[in-house]
């Protein structure tokens, strides 16, 4: 992911419904049906999260040290950008713990829409997960000055897998909660938080009956 080519493909596939007598599979695509558009930017890498906001016609892209928005009407059009990078001090401390320069940047791993229209965004921030809010005004995004801990919401490691969902302003996650990524739990965040015991097999797809 760190060395990925600076490019983002967004594919829109439009398919017409077949008749009841048609033998065409329910899911099939022909090359002639594909409308392919390409977004490219020279200083863009580390794609790590995406959020579609159909209500305001924007696609949010979380990457290494930044969040950008693209128009859903024309995916090649960038409407805004906000930088969110790890500080030099944070990177130095991160590297002292044995991590590489690239790993010690801030990768925006999670974005969810809140009821008030803001976007909850969380980044790895030099292996110190941190969250903030993005505000949208006429297609442009700005970032709030305040931040809070993202531990348990996203992993420390920018390449570690996790899962999250937002339901009525309540965030649910399945992620590691420590630097080494060994303690993994399910959590409900917010005013009445709940967390499971640490059981790694749950996040590895292992089921015991």
List the domains of the chain with CATH numbers. Answer: 8-17+24-204 (2.130.10.10)
Q: What pLDDT sits at residue 138?
A: 84
Report pLDDT for 206: 45
When pLDDT is averaged across residues 172-179 and rounded to a whole number, the result is 88
Residue in 146, 166, 160 with CA at minimum distance from that of residue 51:
166
Residue 145 exposure: Cα atoms within 13 Å on the Cβ side: 0
**Predicted confidence band of residue 109 (pLDDT cuts 50, 70, 90):** very high
Model pTM?
0.77
Contacts of 75 (CB under 8 A, 6+ apart): 10, 12, 37, 39, 59
Contacts of 121 by beta carbon, 8 Å cutoff, 6+ apart = 62, 67, 84, 108, 110, 111, 131, 132, 133, 134, 143
For the segment 149-160, the average pLDDT, to the nearest whole number, is 93
Taking residues 114-132, what's their average pLDDT? 96
pLDDT tens sequence across 34-68: 667 778 787 778 889 999 999 999 999 999 999 99
Give the pLDDT confidence score for residue 183 in this predicted structure.
Answer: 79
Question: Which comes out higher in pLDDT, residue 114 or 187?
Answer: 114
Q: Which of 3-7, 179-183, 194-198 has the lowest mean pLDDT?
A: 3-7
Q: Where are the beta strands (DSSP E) in 77-169?
A: 78-83, 108-113, 119-123, 130-137, 140-143, 148-149, 163-167
pLDDT at 6 over 90: no
Which residue from 120, 95, 103 is spatially nearest to 156, judged by alpha carbons? Answer: 103
């Amino acid at each position: 992911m760190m060395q990925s080519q600076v490019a983002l493909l967004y594919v829109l596939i439009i398919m017409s419904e077949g008749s009841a007598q048609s033998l065409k599979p329910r899911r099939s695509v022909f090359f002639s049906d594909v409308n392919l558009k390409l977004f490219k930017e020279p200083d863009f890498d580390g794609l790590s999260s995406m959020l579609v906001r159909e209500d305001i016609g924007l696609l949010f892209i979380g990457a290494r040290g930044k969040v950008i928005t693209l128009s859903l009407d024309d995916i090649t059009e960038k409407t805004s950008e906000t930088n969110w990078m790890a500080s030099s001090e944070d990177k130095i401390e991160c590297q002292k713990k044995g991590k590489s320069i690239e790993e010690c940047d801030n990768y925006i791993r999670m974005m969810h829409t809140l009821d008030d229209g803001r976007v909850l965004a969380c980044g790895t921030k030099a292996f110190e997960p941190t969250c903030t809010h993005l505000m949208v005004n006429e297609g442009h995004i700005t970032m709030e000055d305040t931040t809070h801990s993202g531990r348990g919401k996203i992993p420390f490691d920018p390449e570690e897998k996790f899962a999250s969902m937002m339901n009525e302003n309540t965030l649910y996650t399945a992620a590691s909660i420590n630097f080494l990524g060994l303690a993994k739990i399910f959590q409900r965040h917010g005013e009445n938080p709940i967390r499971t015991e640490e059981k790694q097999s749950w996040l590895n797809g292992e089921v015991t009956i």
